[in-house]
Structure 1
Amino acid sequence: MATPLGERAFAEHVKSKLDATFQKINDGAPGVSGLAKFTKAWMYGREFLFPRDIRTQERKEFDQEAFKETFEILGKSKQLWRVIETFTQDLRRQLPLIDEEVLEFMRQYQETEDVTIIRRMIMRVAEWWKAWAPVPELGSPIMTAFNMEFQTHFFSILPPTFPSAFKALCASTLGQPADPEMWQTFETLGLLDRYENLVASVCYEQIEARVQETCVGEWSQPMLSQLRSWMADDIVQWMIMPYARAARNPEETRSMLHGVGSRFDFHVCKTLCDLRTTEIFDIIVDFPDSMPALIDLKECLQRVDQRSELVSTLRSLYDHLLIELLANRKRLLHPGADTKDILHQYVSMIRCLRVIDPPGVLLHKVADPVRRYLRERPDTIRSIVSSLVGEGGDLVDENEPIQPLHVQVEDYSDPNWEPEAIDAGPEFRTNKPSDVISTLVSIYDSKDLFVKELQVLLAQRLLAITDGNFDKERRNIEILKIRFGEAALQVCEVMLRDMTDSRRIDQHVQSQKPCLMHPTIISKHFWPPLQTGKLQMPGQYKEILETYSKEFTAFKQDKKLRYLPQLGTLDLTIELTDRTLDVHVPPLEAAVIELFSTKDEWILDDLSKELNVDSSAVRQALDTWVDYGVVSEDKLHHFVLLETSESGSAAGPSRPAAPRTDKSLKEFVGKPAVVENEAAPVMSAQQQEAEQMRVYWKFIEGMLTNLGTLPLDRIQTMLRFAPGYSRSIEQLGVFMEAARREGLVVNTNGLWKLSK
């Protein structure tokens, strides 16, 4: 409880404050004249600022001198803040006046979706704003307070449908004459700040629509430059209103648009990059016609850095889709698919990704699944090698410079050295070949397999040449020397020299003693293993072989011929009672029909013993003569010679039948190459590897017997203790697959075990 002394002190304090306030308001005027002026000014100022109802009240004209004097008085008395506070309270009471009109406009819009209704609504709200806004002479504090109150209330009454309506209004101005008044009104009411993202989204959606409309499936011409030209002509002109209205000259316009223009250009690149990423598979298929699309994608990736998305898309596609020439992995990446098709797509991918990313980081990330799969296919090496010697379609680009196989290594002393891409893995530099062939060869750990397959393929091609023209193969060898080196192609040089020497030797033998046979004479130790057999040629064939051998030994006394009678082809003239046939057959077929010249009837087993050949092979040879109508099977495994043609049974003579003198073959011309035999004369590199790996089958069988199921890498580790074992795990995998096909082992989830 206050004491009397305290009450007096409090009263004195209040009195002093009132006196001070009075003196401030009265401004030292006599009596209360100053207070009267202040009161008049207060009432005038409040009436001047009061938010009127523009529907029923017209704005009053105020005396400018009186306005100036009024606010000078309020300012001197330091009561202007109270005027602002009172104005704010009056404004809050009047703001609901706009609610009814705003809601009515929105109702009309929802019924018609006519964006002009939204424009009229905004312009009407701007009329309220202009009627209630304080004059600028009152300073920024009162204007800031007014804007905050007005905009807060305006935004609070807008329904949820307004943002989409406002966006539609902005979008409707694209391609139309500029409307500065509308855009200025947007800024006045704070709409541009509040809905900045909506305004920007109008441009984003226009860009996306333009890309979809003009760029989908269009890869034959660069589209990024066209999109940027369209942006400059259409979108940039529209952007001036929302983003550069205040510019006074072109320089200021460019300066104001620089930031937002960069954002929209980024979106152009991102949208086009997204599209090309989804189309990348078809773009690869269409290469090189799709080169412009790849160049666009390269530039877009540099701008938006979506390399990881491209890698993810490609890996997913190569896991699930690899074509319609690359349809899907279930169709292409399976043993029934043509390895050349897979290689063609892989090569296209190499070339395309080299365009997009010359250092090869993207290729390194994407290609791994395809490379692993190709490494497991037994015919991949042969397909690649075939392309190297001109049999593999378009795997090798004729315009691509021929260069040695090599892998780039880091040279930090190179003045043009650049660091690796930020997304390059730690193993990237260890294996980054520079050209397509090097990339294909790098699928395997060593190029030795390719060299062996090259030797096999060259041997087959040389043996198939009958006209003595080896120029093409000589040219191939020179090209391969550049790629693989001189040492790797020495054996091929020997094979080529053997072919030319063989013709020279044969010409010499024929000059000494003409012979029907023209053999191909090769050096056993420099050629890949040839298919061997135990065929014993009968009758006149045997005599011809022996005669030729004697003449050869007389010419080359330090050499001896060892015939491979199961290889080669023969031209025969078969004379029968009513017909003569000219045929071109392998040696086994010729040997079989020669035996029929000694007697007319043969049993299959007797022929097999006579020729020292498996009965199934002899049966196939007999089927050939059955087809020609020369022999027939009158009962099971019993064959007879048809001196006279059975009606409709012969395939038809090659010339009219001549009188038959005896049942001997009148002509025999040996051909040096096997071109029609089902089995190739030269064992492939895989066959050679398989034959060599059979030595280690007992080791593998013992492991699986004692240890049960084993993964491939464990088998590889244990085989390293076997004498002379030096195969890679890929070679072991090929051998195990061959063993599985033969039913020796089974593979379950990567684990190998013996078949039961």
Structure 2
Amino acid sequence: MISESGRNQILAKWQESFTRLNGNQPGIAGLMNFAKAWKFAREYLYPIDINDPSPKVYAAQEIRAAFEVLGNARRLAAIFETFLEDMRTQQHLITRDVNHHMSRYEETSDPRAVADLVFRLIQWHTAWAPGQEFGHQVLSAFNHTFQTHTFSVLPSSFSSGFKSLIEMTLEPYLDTEESRSRGKEHPADLRLWAGFECLGMLERYESLISSVCYEAIEKHVWDKCAKSWVEPELANLREWMTDCIVPWMLLPYARGARNSEEAKVMLQGVGARFDFHMCKTLCDLRIGEIFDIIIDYPDSKGALQDLKECLQRVDQRSQLVLALRKANTRRLLHPGADTKDILAQYVSIMRCLRFVDPPGVLLHKVADPIRKYLRGRPDTIRCIVANLVGDKESGDSLADVDEPVQPLSQVQMEDYSDPNWEPEPVDAGPDFRTNKPSDTISTLVSIYDSKDLFIKELQVLLAQRLLAVQDGNFDSERKNIEILKVRFGEAPLQVCEVMLKDMTDSKRIDQHIQAQDECVLHSTIISRHFWPPLQGNKLVMPAQFQEVQDRYANGFTEFKPDKKLHWLPQLGTITLELELQDRSIEVEVTPLEAAVIGHFEEKEEWTTDALISSVGGAVEKSMMTKALSKWANLGVIKEKEGGEFVLLEVQEEGGASLLTASRQAVVEETPSVITVEQQQAGQMKVYWRFIEGMLTNLGSLPLDRIQTMLRIAPGYDKTVEQLATFMEAARREGLVTVQGGLWKLNR
């Protein structure tokens, strides 16, 4: 049972609703008018089928009257809710057209089918849209409902079709013949973009629209800039963006602009995104090409300029470091690469990265593996030194021709009082300041902790070059020494000055001896205490050569009574004229080869062992075999079946002719100076007894422990790297073994 008060409330509500619907008209006349207006409004708003050939036409006066009645009754919202429900029931009409056009696209992949679908959806939207009398809120709700229903029936293939359609609108703006021709056939239609906006597709597929522009930018960058390194390309790319991409961007991103200033403001954000993507694409391209760009330097300065500007726009520094380190490991830092090539590439890396990043952070990160690898190569110092003294065989100069000769750079402490002081870059490592020599040579020398290794190698190389000079002109070496003085200082190069003075004094002494008693022998006289150790074996020359040496020594003693010559007969060259029964041969040979053929004057048959014994017994069998092969190739001697060599007084048929022999008679010079590695190996052999005693008494030891205990040995000054090299050589000889970093004697 309902209470009296409840009944009264219901009656009041009913009376209020009746009064609102009936108005002030008598009886139910107003209610009848409302029902008529409701029916008319629903028929007018009902979503029609636009395929109907004879749609019903409504008079504007009747429409206004009906909606006025509904408005006075405050039932416009209710009629609109009914309209939205009718839209749901009529949605199959739109779905039918969507399926038709999308089936056509899926069969032909023609984006025009998608464009036709868009225009068809606009027709549905226009036909179903309520009038402006409903207000903005009602229209917004209608648009939202229409778009929701439309997107719900679009198949998955619509995304690819929509993207193809966007690409078709962009093509007329691109700078290619094909695009221009297609653009004439399918001009961009402003109605299409208006349709996209009306249907909410600009917002829904914003990332898809942007991706089309991104892909066009990427394709243009790769087509125009790949392998194009001579001139900078970034300015040309931005000009292309202004001429081709920006006019197209007005359609999706600045359609409502009333003037150029408004369009510029509207395009500012998206334009910055596209410019960023272009810089990133160009930066990725240059990073992928960076190893070849460095090889091609300085002809690739344009690409480096692009890379420098792009790195200021996008944060790709870590990717550059990673890519270059990987490329160096794969293409440079391996046993198949020559040390000279590695050094040349390292110098090019220095020059390129200093151009791209003047503070040097990128160079510091990239160079660390290269420096460690070069430090482990035995001929790195020799290659650097050969370049310092202008070795013709060292290839291109590592130092820039415009780079002044200056002393080796030293690590400088921070001067915080300097008004030009700048903090370290944010991506600099903790040891960044400690490894920034300014010039190329200082950077190369800084690979090693001490300059002493370079000084020793300089002395060896200069000694070899001085001994190789035959015309007595030492101006080039004098110039090299002066340059080296600037780099290393006066004191370390004093020994080199003495070597140069020895050579000039030797020339003067030889001229004096020849003036007193002309002799076929010309010697180079040096001070043994100021020269690196020379190659030596106790080679015994035949008597006729000994006589010439003694005669020359007597002349020297008369000129320098307080000094005595110590001959190194294995060095130098000898010009011989051989008189045989049917021919005469003049040839330039080494002292060992001269000694070998000289013994055939005593007797005509020799064995290899007998010849070794006759020249002093200190010659290795391989060297003797090589000397015998030389004379055999010249057709002077011949090897018999028993291993004996016999002199050929008469040339055999088919033997080497005199002309051929002369061409083959090239002296293969043996290095006259013992290299630094050979000196160090010889010195380390002295300490082998210490190492052997340690490993015998203490068992297996790590390398650092061996190094620490060796420091108490008299005169030991080797680095742990040099000790590691020696221990590795001992391991190859089978003297020691290593396991887990512990060395022990091989018993």
What do the CA deviations read for 1:284-329 (whole angstroms, capped 9, x no partner)?
333333332222222222222222222222222333x31xxx5xx6
Query: What TM-score comes out, normalization by structure 1 length?
Result: 0.86
- 3-state DSSP of counterpart to 2:587: strand
Decide which moves more: 646-655 or 444-453: 646-655
- C-alpha distance in 2, partners of 1:20/1:703? 115
- C-alpha distance in 2, partners of 1:76/1:733? 102
User: Which of the numbers 647, 672, 683 marks the counterpart of 1:681?
Assistant: 672
User: Which of the numbers 39, 55, 58 marks the counterpart of 1:58?
Assistant: 55
- C-alpha distance in 2, partners of 1:601/1:95? 115
8 Å CA contact retained: 1:581, 1:654: no
| Shift in Å, 1:38 | 6.1
Counterpart position of 2:595: 591
User: Which of the numbers 644, 647, 652 marks the counterpart of 2:658?
Assistant: 652
User: Which of the numbers 234, 245, 254 marks the counterpart of 2:244?
Assistant: 234
- C-alpha distance in 2, partners of 1:272/1:749? 47
- Mapping for residues 398-409 of structure 1, pairs under 5 Å: 398-401=400-403, 402-406=405-409, 409=412
Counterpart position of 2:360: 360
Structure 1: which 5+ runs fail to align?
A: 657-674
- Mapping for residues 340-739 of structure 1, pairs under 5 Å: 340-391=340-391, 392-401=394-403, 402-406=405-409, 409=412, 410-597=414-601, 605=609, 607-614=611-618, 616=621, 617-631=623-637, 636=642, 643-645=649-651, 652=658, 676=667, 678-705=669-696, 711-739=702-730
- 3-state DSSP of counterpart to 2:575: strand
| Shift in Å, 1:211 | 2.7
- C-alpha distance in 2, partners of 1:713/1:109? 75
- After superposition, the Cα gap between the structure-2 partners of 1:547 and 1:146, relative to the gap in structure 1 and judged at 3 Å, is same
| Shift in Å, 1:386 | 1.6
- Report which structure shows greater RCO (CA 8 Å, sep ≥6): 1
* Structure 2 letter corresponding to 1:463: L
- After superposition, the Cα gap between the structure-2 partners of 1:482 and 1:26, relative to the gap in structure 1 and judged at 3 Å, is farther
8 Å CA contact retained: 1:582, 1:654: no
Residue 251, structure 1, aligned to residue 261, structure 2: yes
- After superposition, the Cα gap between the structure-2 partners of 1:715 and 1:46, relative to the gap in structure 1 and judged at 3 Å, is farther
Decide which moves more: 508-517 or 106-115: 508-517
Counterpart position of 2:179: none
* Structure 1 letter corresponding to 2:55: E
Cα RMSD (Å) of the superposition?
3.3
- C-alpha distance in 2, partners of 1:652/1:540? 25
* Structure 1 letter corresponding to 2:457: E
- C-alpha distance in 2, partners of 1:181/1:714? 84
| Shift in Å, 1:270 | 1.9
Counterpart position of 1:222: 232
- C-alpha distance in 2, partners of 1:510/1:384? 40
- 3-state DSSP of counterpart to 1:197: helix
8 Å CA contact retained: 2:233, 2:306: yes
8 Å CA contact retained: 2:119, 2:192: yes
| Shift in Å, 1:415 | 3.9
- C-alpha distance in 1, partners of 2:612/2:50? 119
Counterpart position of 1:665: none
8 Å CA contact retained: 2:344, 2:398: no
- After superposition, the Cα gap between the structure-2 partners of 1:345 and 1:692, relative to the gap in structure 1 and judged at 3 Å, is same
Decide which moves more: 424-433 or 630-639: 630-639
- 3-state DSSP of counterpart to 1:173: helix
* Structure 2 letter corresponding to 1:256: M
- After superposition, the Cα gap between the structure-2 partners of 1:70 and 1:397, relative to the gap in structure 1 and judged at 3 Å, is farther
What do the CA deviations read for 1:159-183 (whole angstroms, capped 9, x no partner)?
1111111111111112133311110
- C-alpha distance in 1, partners of 2:635/2:104? 96
| Shift in Å, 1:58 | 3.2
8 Å CA contact retained: 1:580, 1:654: no
| Shift in Å, 1:241 | 0.4
- C-alpha distance in 1, partners of 2:123/2:655? 107
Decide which moves more: 366-375 or 412-421: 412-421
8 Å CA contact retained: 2:295, 2:345: yes
- C-alpha distance in 1, partners of 2:121/2:608? 109
- After superposition, the Cα gap between the structure-2 partners of 1:678 and 1:50, relative to the gap in structure 1 and judged at 3 Å, is same
What do the CA deviations read for 1:640-686 (whole angstroms, capped 9, x no partner)?
55555555556639999xxxxxxxxxxxxxxxxxx945531111111
User: Which of the numbers 81, 85, 88 marks the counterpart of 2:84?
Assistant: 88
8 Å CA contact retained: 1:588, 1:621: yes
Residue 186, structure 1, aligned to residue 196, structure 2: yes
Query: What TM-score comes out, normalization by structure 2 length?
Result: 0.87
8 Å CA contact retained: 1:361, 1:428: yes
User: Which of the numbers 159, 172, 182 marks the counterpart of 1:163?
Assistant: 159
| Shift in Å, 1:602 | 5.5
8 Å CA contact retained: 2:233, 2:303: yes
| Shift in Å, 1:550 | 3.6
Decide which moves more: 355-364 or 453-462: 355-364
8 Å CA contact retained: 2:633, 2:661: no
8 Å CA contact retained: 2:538, 2:618: no
* Structure 1 letter corresponding to 2:672: P
- Mapping for residues 193-342 of structure 1, pairs under 5 Å: 193-319=203-329, 321-322=330-331, 333-334=334-335, 337-342=337-342
- C-alpha distance in 1, partners of 2:732/2:272? 61
8 Å CA contact retained: 2:481, 2:496: yes
- 3-state DSSP of counterpart to 1:348: helix
8 Å CA contact retained: 1:604, 1:619: yes
- After superposition, the Cα gap between the structure-2 partners of 1:553 and 1:27, relative to the gap in structure 1 and judged at 3 Å, is farther
| Shift in Å, 1:459 | 0.7
- After superposition, the Cα gap between the structure-2 partners of 1:173 and 1:755, relative to the gap in structure 1 and judged at 3 Å, is same
8 Å CA contact retained: 1:579, 1:655: no
- 3-state DSSP of counterpart to 2:289: helix
8 Å CA contact retained: 2:503, 2:526: yes
- 3-state DSSP of counterpart to 1:367: helix
Decide which moves more: 455-464 or 253-262: 253-262
8 Å CA contact retained: 1:343, 1:395: no
| Shift in Å, 1:417 | 3.9
Counterpart position of 1:130: 126
- After superposition, the Cα gap between the structure-2 partners of 1:93 and 1:647, relative to the gap in structure 1 and judged at 3 Å, is closer
- C-alpha distance in 2, partners of 1:183/1:587? 93
- After superposition, the Cα gap between the structure-2 partners of 1:167 and 1:273, relative to the gap in structure 1 and judged at 3 Å, is same
- C-alpha distance in 1, partners of 2:642/2:125? 112
- C-alpha distance in 2, partners of 1:189/1:634? 102
- 3-state DSSP of counterpart to 2:578: strand
What do the CA deviations read for 1:589-628 (whole angstroms, capped 9, x no partner)?
3334444555556565555444323352455444444444
Counterpart position of 2:175: none
| Shift in Å, 1:456 | 0.8
8 Å CA contact retained: 2:20, 2:73: yes
- 3-state DSSP of counterpart to 2:715: coil
- C-alpha distance in 2, partners of 1:153/1:602? 109
8 Å CA contact retained: 1:408, 1:434: no
- 3-state DSSP of counterpart to 1:100: helix
| Shift in Å, 1:129 | 1.0
* Structure 1 letter corresponding to 2:716: Y
- After superposition, the Cα gap between the structure-2 partners of 1:399 and 1:67, relative to the gap in structure 1 and judged at 3 Å, is farther
8 Å CA contact retained: 1:693, 1:735: yes
- After superposition, the Cα gap between the structure-2 partners of 1:24 and 1:632, relative to the gap in structure 1 and judged at 3 Å, is closer
| Shift in Å, 1:243 | 0.6
8 Å CA contact retained: 1:580, 1:653: no
* Structure 2 letter corresponding to 1:121: L
